[in-house]
């Protein structure tokens, strides 16, 4: 089996061609891993995965994490989070409105995941794309004085789940008291150095970053807004237009991502795994 890597004409992303991820060997894995570090997100098309093979391929990149939203895990699985607008007996079978804002996954924990792997089982004929923003490029585009200003700074990240659940039209279930307790938030550097590439990336996101540590509220918010104008500038953003059986792996250490909406008469049904990472530095 010979695989090739086709980089997209976009600020991030590449397609891995000629690989059945169920049959990956050590040589192919090394190529895929390098492409993951080079391009930030990888698209593997036409994969036919079971929850077990999806988890097994994901686990080659690191130990898997279970998600705090246990009510949306695939029944019987610790590691597959269901993203779906399907309902059974009126009850959503998965998270219907996941990530419809710029974010990096689970940045509100001390040890945020290094990556996530999303498998498209049913895709609407229009809408429901996923956007990826290259945070190496965002950092590189900052003026030198801004880079210097943020170099020593840290930011607080919080999962404001109750706000999402209270949003008009949300069908999110309330958190259990135990889940609430797990959500203390975390503090991370505003600029992180990728542990594998050594490159610097912006690491603040509109979804979960709520404040700059030690800075007055207004000044902190103004700084975050300024950073986000670089972090989400059109020239750092790539778009994944899904096809059924696409598997996409992304690097949470150097990308943000953003789910987009789709007409509600269509079904979008996906499985996600989450790969454990290290403390951002």
Identify which of residues 28 and 208 has a Cβ nearer to ligand OGA in the complex.
208
- Residue 204 as a binder of ligand OGA (CB under 6 A): the answer is no
Q: Which of 84, 130, 134, 135 binds ligand OGA (CB under 6 A)?
A: 130
Joined together, the tokens standing for residue 83 give 């993203």
Interface with ligand OGA (CB under 6 A), residue total 10
CB-count burial class (<10 Å; 0-12, 13-18, 19+) for 104: buried
Q: Which does residue 130 touch among ligand OGA, Mn ion, none (CB within 5 to 8 A, set by kind)?
A: ligand OGA
Q: Which does residue 254 touch among ligand OGA, Mn ion, none (CB within 5 to 8 A, set by kind)?
A: none
Using the CB atoms, write b or e for 136-164: b if 16+ within 10 Å: bbbbebbeeeeeeebeebbbbbbbebeeb
Q: Which of residues 94-113 bind Mn ion (CB under 5 A)?
A: 99, 105
Residue for token pair 């309330």: 174
Rounded least distance, CB 127 to ligand OGA, Å: 10
Task: List the catalytic residue out of 54, 67, 103, 269.
Answer: 103
Task: List the catalytic residue out of 257, 258, 268, 271.
Answer: 257
CA distances from 9 to 12, 152, 185 (A): 8, 34, 36
Catalytic annotation present for 199:
no
Task: List the catalytic residue out of 97, 105, 246, 251.
Answer: 105
Catalytic annotation present for 257:
yes
Q: Where are the alpha helices (DSSP H) in the chain?
A: 26-39, 51-58, 135-140, 144-150, 161-166, 177-182, 217-231
Distance CA 264, CA 86 (A): 10
Q: Collapse the DSSP code of 136 into the 3-class scheme (helix H, G, I; strand E, B; otherwise coil) and give the result.
A: helix
Identify which of residues 11 and 220 has a Cβ nearer to ligand OGA in the complex.
11
- Residue 223 as a binder of ligand OGA (CB under 6 A): the answer is no
The residues that are catalytic are 103, 105, 257, 272
What is the binding site for Mn ion (CB under 5 A)? Answer: 99, 105
What is the binding site for ligand OGA (CB under 6 A)? Answer: 83, 98-99, 105, 116, 118, 130, 257, 259, 272
């Amino acid at each position: 089996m010979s695989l090739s890597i086709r980089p997209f004409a976009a600020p991030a992303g590449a397609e891995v061609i000629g690989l059945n991820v169920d049959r990956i060997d050590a040589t192919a894995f090394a190529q895929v891993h390098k492409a993951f570090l080079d391009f930030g997100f990888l698209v593997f098309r036409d994969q036919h995965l079971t929850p077990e093979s999806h988890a097994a391929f994901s686990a080659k990149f690191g130990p898997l994490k279970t998600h705090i939203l246990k009510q949306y895990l695939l029944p019987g699985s610790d590691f597959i989070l269901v993203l779906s607008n399907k309902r059974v007996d009126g009850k959503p079978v998965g998270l219907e409105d996941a990530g419809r804002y710029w974010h990096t996954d689970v940045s509100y924990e001390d040890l945020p995941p290094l990556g996530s792997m999303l498998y498209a089982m049913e895709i609407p004929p229009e809408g429901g794309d996923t956007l990826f923003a290259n945070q190496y490029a965002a950092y590189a585009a900052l003026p030198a004085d801004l880079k210097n200003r943020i170099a020593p700074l840290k930011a607080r990240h919080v999962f404001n789940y109750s706000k999402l659940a209270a949003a008009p039209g949300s069908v999110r279930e309330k958190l259990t008291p135990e889940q609430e307790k797990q959500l203390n938030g975390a503090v991370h550097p505003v600029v992180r150095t990728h542990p594998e590439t050594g490159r610097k990336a912006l690491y603040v996101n509109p979804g979960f970053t709520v404040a700059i540590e030690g800075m007055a509220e207004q000044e902190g918010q103004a700084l975050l807004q300024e950073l986000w104008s670089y972090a989400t500038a059109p020239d750092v953003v790539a778009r994944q237009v899904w096809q059924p059986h696409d598997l996409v792996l992304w690097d949470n250490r150097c990308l943000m991502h953003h789910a987009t909406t789709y007409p509600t008469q269509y079904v979008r049904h996906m499985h996600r795994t989450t790969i454990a990472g290290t403390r951002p530095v």
